[in-house]
Chain A
Amino acid sequence: MERVVKHTLEMKNIVKRFPGVLANNNVNLTIQAGEIHALLGENGAGKSTLMQILYGFHSMDSGEILIDGEPVRLGSPKDAIALGIGMVHQEFMLVRRFSVVENTVLGLREGGGPLLDLQRASEKLKDLSNRHGLALDPAAEVGSLPIGVQQRVEILKLLYRDARLLILDEPTAVLTPLEKDQLFAVLRKLREDGRSVVLVTHKLAEIMELADRVTVMRDGQVVATRTIGSTSGQELTRLMVGREVNLRAEKSSQKPGGPILQVEELRVRDETGHEKVRGLSLEVHSGEILGIAGVDGNGQSELAEAILHLREIESGRVLLKGADVTRLSVAQHRKAGISYVPADRRHVGSVTEMSVADNAILGLQRKYTRGLFRGIREARESALGLVARFGIRTGGIDFAAGKLSGGNLQKLILGREIMRGSAALVVEHPTRGLDVGAVEAVWAELLRARQEGKAILLISAELEELLNLADRIAVMFDGRIMGVVDAAGASVEKIGLMMAGIAAESASAAGQAIKETHHGETL
């Protein structure tokens, strides 16, 4: 009989390098049988890479994986499955036109004969679903099932292969609250059964509710592993978003002017129909940076996209200098004076196949014209100006933008949006994944734009960034603003609590209490 995960699985000193990125830097992770282990971290922290190594998708550059103390080799997902490791991906790997049982046996060769025995597989599946409380009709067509039930099919697929260790990547992202509760019940049952579950997520509340232990990753490294009893949402937040290098930006004190960008009672839904922005209001003044803090996925992206009308708005208003721009087209928004630096610089903010010069006029293509034709010389001059003014390192303006490093590409996008001369600037995660030098450059440019009197809405998950740049910080949780604090003298603890969903009034009290318990522990 092959070895399967019985007691412990250890990942030791895992190193994985992608071109230009150290995705996993000496990562250690131990998972015990019968525990629910949460893997927490922001996007790009390296948790998905680590799990894909464990599932045999990626090979590691160095390090080893031990099962019950014995080293094992994981060359492909097939090896992982043979060792009892299974994974439920964020995007389900199901054939929509197949039935539940057909999906379950897909890739298995049972019985040795040339014919499929779906009858017997159905029996086994029914038995499994009863045992684990996963109600399911084996004959149903997968495409017709609700998302929550499709997820059950994925879990049953793993149990059918008798997986001992189940990796779930952001399992609740697509679920309704009721489906989520059902999933958690199933996961608890699996734990009782002696199986291990790795929960990859950035949702604190779920970790506190469900997990036994949690490992926090940041910038490709493990920051800490804690048992749930000995930690708090606030500590985890700090571990997750803190930045290793201490950066300081010199911010001049200046009095903000009148309101430029106003959002009133905004409501926005995402593609799956979930309300992501729930009656949110805010106001950004000229010469001010309003920071939006919050753990990813609490509606920040939807807010930014709705302000530009890149996303359908349910209700509410967006005002620019007092004029209603809510229903204007994206092009009209840009004309009216709102610039936007999106979070995804490679897939939204730029066209990587096109040259630096062509990217420098993205969104301005109707400005650089000569009669019917493009003003190519003017556009090239402005691109050269951007490269010089923002210190963009490139092989020339005819170089494909996709070949620029993340920092240089970001400087190109930020520079383009600043130089448009808009009154308001919406900036989303401007320094995510950038090295320290690039971070400093981007910060300096944002502060310069502030000094020029622009109204800047800065969405970031990096508390340090917000504390350094913002004048005021609004904390967003579950589509609402939990509270707004002045950046000067704001306490990380208080913001952290609000990020975890505890309202501003009680946050100060609770923050105090936590500080005291911490003192108690250290004493």
Chain B
Amino acid sequence: MAKLFERRLTPADSPLAILATTTAAFFAAMLVTAFLFLSYGASPFEAYFALFHEPFGTLRGFGYSLVRTSPLALIALGTIVSWRSGFSYLGFEGCFVVGASATAWLALLTAPGARFGPIPFFLFLPLAILFGFVAAGIWAGLVGLVRAWLGGNEVLISLMSNYVAIFILQYLVSGPMRAPGSLPETRLLPRTTWLPFILPGTRAHAGILIAIAAAVLVWVLLQKMPLGYELIVTGFNAAAARYAGIDVGRRILLASFFAGGLGGLAGIVEVLGSQHRLMDGISGGVGFVGIVVALLARLNPVAVIPTALLYGGMSVGADAMQRRASIPSSITFILQSLTVLLVLAFDALRYYKISLPAFSRRTPPPAEEVSK
């Protein structure tokens, strides 16, 4: 008897097969979402045009897309470092906030009339990156410490630590760092501390360059350095790592520090490049969407930048779509979520073949194209 799903002898795990299933999943998600557009009486084609034309077809919109891309990509890179080391960290929202707060504090110290006065940008930026990275690294490293030395559950602890970080931020912007005025936010950071804008006529800032550099560095760390090899062995199989003489506890601590630092870098980029001040709610869930980006990029640092650009662009396009086709922008969120779900579901095609006996002659199912 022919089964609808036939198990493949070996899973199709070539890069082409992975790209094909991921792309197919994305289009399937678009297809499902198209029905939602119809329920608003809008043409799906117009809606999708609005969704993708603004972020990728206009210079202004593309600038905004880049602004959204940088923190997403940095969070995703942090996710990759920690998850591939077997440390299931979920506290990037907190790292973002810690990195942003530390940098904003440092930047305000250099404001004219403040204690240190203005310092040149080329000195300030490395200092700010180091400071924010280390602060967020220690923040996440505390969770790593609990896991490595006490065997604590990093999933729960890191998730909860997000709230602690957010409360600290709320205290800072409504207490010691609050600017005169009614809103819980700091004063505008001195202009000398802003990241330079890189595309004339847009809001795109140098943060995207930092994100690309970070992606390259993470790739080098994981693929080209002995430390990265040790992190990956630890992530796959802690018993084998111990056998190979790798100090598993220290590697997890290190992974949590790097991951936290990258999460903090996302906060630095956002505060110095886009917001230019610290405020309540500055993270806006990017710490979680970044994890989704990492998953969609299959924990591959090279694939992170295009994936983050797609996600960042879609959130920019969502607003345009709402304006033009009067479709709620939250549908984009449904599309993004559907994409993740279907990418996971379409993974089954790498392990199973679809065989439709009645149609097998006339229409080879897409799985066949994927396999060979």
**Considering only CB atoms, which chain A residue lies closest to B220 in the complex?**
A373
**Considering only CB atoms, which chain B residue lies closest to A335 in the complex?**
B245
CA distance A132 to B119 in the complex (A): 84
**Considering only CB atoms, which chain B residue lies closest to A350 in the complex?**
B240
Residue in A354, A363, A366, A374 whose beta carbon sits within 8 Å of that of B243 in the complex: A363
Residue in A348, A374, A403 whose beta carbon sits within 8 Å of that of B225 in the complex: A374
Interface-forming stretch among A41-49, A87-95, A149-157, A326-334? A326-334
- Interface contact B240-A347, CB-CB below 8 Å: yes
Q: With an 8 A cutoff between CB atoms, is A376 at the interface? A: yes
Greatest chain A CB density within 10 A among B10, B243, B246 is at B243
Known: A347-B239, A353-B236. A374 touches B244 (CB 8 A): no
Q: With an 8 A cutoff between CB atoms, is B368 at the interface? A: no
- Interface contact A329-B240, CB-CB below 8 Å: no
Residue in B224, B233, B247 whose beta carbon sits within 8 Å of that of A354 in the complex: B233
Residues of A within 8 A of B224 (CB): 373-374, 376
Known: A329-B247, A372-B225, A374-B224. A351 touches B233 (CB 8 A): yes
CA distance A333 to B10 in the complex (A): 39
- Interface contact B226-A365, CB-CB below 8 Å: yes
Residues of A within 8 A of B309 (CB): none
Q: With an 8 A cutoff between CB atoms, is B23 at the interface? A: no
CA distance A344 to B237 in the complex (A): 13
**Considering only CB atoms, which chain B residue lies closest to A19 in the complex?**
B9
CA distance A403 to B9 in the complex (A): 12
- Interface contact A349-B240, CB-CB below 8 Å: yes
Q: With an 8 A cutoff between CB atoms, is B229 at the interface? A: yes
Q: With an 8 A cutoff between CB atoms, is A310 at the interface? A: yes
Residues of A within 8 A of B93 (CB): none
- Interface contact A366-B232, CB-CB below 8 Å: no
Q: With an 8 A cutoff between CB atoms, is B319 at the interface? A: no
- Interface contact A333-B225, CB-CB below 8 Å: no
Please report the number of residue pairs spanning A and B whose Cβ atoms sit closer than 8 angstroms: 67
- Interface contact B236-A363, CB-CB below 8 Å: no
Residue in A333, A352, A366 whose beta carbon sits within 8 Å of that of B226 in the complex: A366
Residue in A340, A372, A374 whose beta carbon sits within 8 Å of that of B229 in the complex: A374
Residues of A within 8 A of B244 (CB): 330, 362-363, 365
- Taking the closest CB of chain B, its distance from the CB of A373, in whole angstroms, is 5
- Interface contact A330-B242, CB-CB below 8 Å: yes
Residues of B within 8 A of A462 (CB): none
Residues of B within 8 A of A332 (CB): 245
Task: Bin chain B's interface residue count.
Answer: 10 to 19
Residues of B within 8 A of A369 (CB): 226
Q: With an 8 A cutoff between CB atoms, is B230 at the interface? A: yes
CA distance A329 to B230 in the complex (A): 16
Residues of B within 8 A of A349 (CB): 240, 243
- Taking the closest CB of chain A, its distance from the CB of B55, in whole angstroms, is 37
Known: A310-B243, A342-B243. A347 touches B226 (CB 8 A): no
- Interface contact A362-B240, CB-CB below 8 Å: yes
Residue in A350, A351, A354, A363 whose beta carbon sits within 8 Å of that of B245 in the complex: A363
Known: A330-B245, A374-B224. A347 touches B237 (CB 8 A): yes
CA distance A365 to B229 in the complex (A): 7
Known: A373-B225, A374-B224. A354 touches B242 (CB 8 A): no
Query: Restricting to A106-121, which residues have a CB under 8 Å from any CB of B?
Result: none
Mask, A376-397, CB within 8 Å of B = 1, is 1000000000000000000000
CA distance A334 to B220 in the complex (A): 27
- Interface contact A351-B226, CB-CB below 8 Å: no
- Taking the closest CB of chain B, its distance from the CB of A493, in whole angstroms, is 37
Task: Bin chain A's interface residue count.
Answer: 20 to 34
Residues of B within 8 A of A368 (CB): 226
- Interface contact A330-B236, CB-CB below 8 Å: no
Residues of A within 8 A of B226 (CB): 365-366, 368-369, 373-374
CA distance A374 to B232 in the complex (A): 14
- Interface contact B247-A310, CB-CB below 8 Å: no
**Considering only CB atoms, which chain B residue lies closest to A366 in the complex?**
B226
Q: With an 8 A cutoff between CB atoms, is A302 at the interface? A: no
Greatest chain A CB density within 10 A among B220, B242, B245, B246 is at B245
CA distance A368 to B225 in the complex (A): 10
Known: A331-B246, A333-B245, A373-B224. A365 touches B230 (CB 8 A): yes
Residues of B within 8 A of A219 (CB): none
Residues of A within 8 A of B10 (CB): 403
CA distance A352 to B247 in the complex (A): 20
Residues of B within 8 A of A376 (CB): 224
CA distance A274 to B230 in the complex (A): 32
- Taking the closest CB of chain B, its distance from the CB of A85, in whole angstroms, is 30
Residues of B within 8 A of A471 (CB): none
Query: Restricting to A471-509, which residues have a CB under 8 Å from any CB of B?
Result: none
Residues of B within 8 A of A361 (CB): 229
CA distance A86 to B224 in the complex (A): 53
CA distance A369 to B226 in the complex (A): 7
CA distance A348 to B247 in the complex (A): 15
Residues of B within 8 A of A347 (CB): 237, 239-240
CA distance A334 to B229 in the complex (A): 18
- Taking the closest CB of chain B, its distance from the CB of A512, in whole angstroms, is 44
Known: A340-B243, A363-B243. A354 touches B230 (CB 8 A): no
Q: With an 8 A cutoff between CB atoms, is A288 at the interface? A: no
Residues of A within 8 A of B233 (CB): 351, 354, 362, 365
Q: With an 8 A cutoff between CB atoms, is A358 at the interface? A: yes
CA distance A234 to B62 in the complex (A): 80
CA distance A333 to B247 in the complex (A): 13
Residue in A331, A358, A374, A403 whose beta carbon sits within 8 Å of that of B247 in the complex: A331
CA distance A333 to B233 in the complex (A): 19
Mask, B198-236, CB within 8 Å of A = 1, is 000000000000000000000010001110011011001
Known: A331-B246, A333-B245. A354 touches B236 (CB 8 A): yes
Residues of B within 8 A of A351 (CB): 233, 236-237, 240
CA distance A308 to B245 in the complex (A): 9
- Taking the closest CB of chain B, its distance from the CB of A185, in whole angstroms, is 37
Greatest chain B CB density within 10 A among A342, A347, A361, A365 is at A365
- Taking the closest CB of chain B, its distance from the CB of A147, in whole angstroms, is 20
Residues of B within 8 A of A333 (CB): 245
Residues of B within 8 A of A340 (CB): 243
CA distance A453 to B233 in the complex (A): 32
CA distance A372 to B232 in the complex (A): 17
- Taking the closest CB of chain A, its distance from the CB of B211, in whole angstroms, is 23
CA distance A354 to B236 in the complex (A): 9
Residues of B within 8 A of A331 (CB): 245-247
- Taking the closest CB of chain B, its distance from the CB of A98, in whole angstroms, is 21
- Taking the closest CB of chain A, its distance from the CB of B9, in whole angstroms, is 10
Residues of A within 8 A of B242 (CB): 310, 330
CA distance A280 to B276 in the complex (A): 68
CA distance A366 to B244 in the complex (A): 11
- Interface contact B245-A334, CB-CB below 8 Å: yes
16 extra A-B contacts, CB within 8 A, seeds A348-B239, A350-B240, A351-B236: A310-B242, A329-B247, A331-B246, A334-B245, A349-B240, A353-B236, A361-B229, A362-B243, A362-B244, A363-B244, A365-B226, A365-B233, A365-B246, A373-B220, A374-B226, A403-B10
Q: Which 9 A-B pairs have the closest CB atoms?
A: A331-B245, A363-B244, A330-B245, A362-B244, A365-B226, A351-B236, A365-B229, A348-B239, A353-B236
Can you spell out 26 A-B residue pairs with CB atoms less than 8 angstroms apart?
A310-B242, A310-B243, A329-B247, A331-B245, A347-B239, A347-B240, A348-B240, A349-B240, A349-B243, A350-B240, A351-B236, A352-B237, A353-B237, A361-B229, A362-B233, A362-B240, A363-B244, A363-B245, A365-B233, A365-B244, A368-B226, A369-B226, A372-B225, A374-B225, A374-B229, A403-B10
**What is A's interface to B at a CB cutoff of 8 Å?**
308, 310, 329-334, 340, 342, 344, 347-354, 358, 361-363, 365-366, 368-369, 372-374, 376, 403
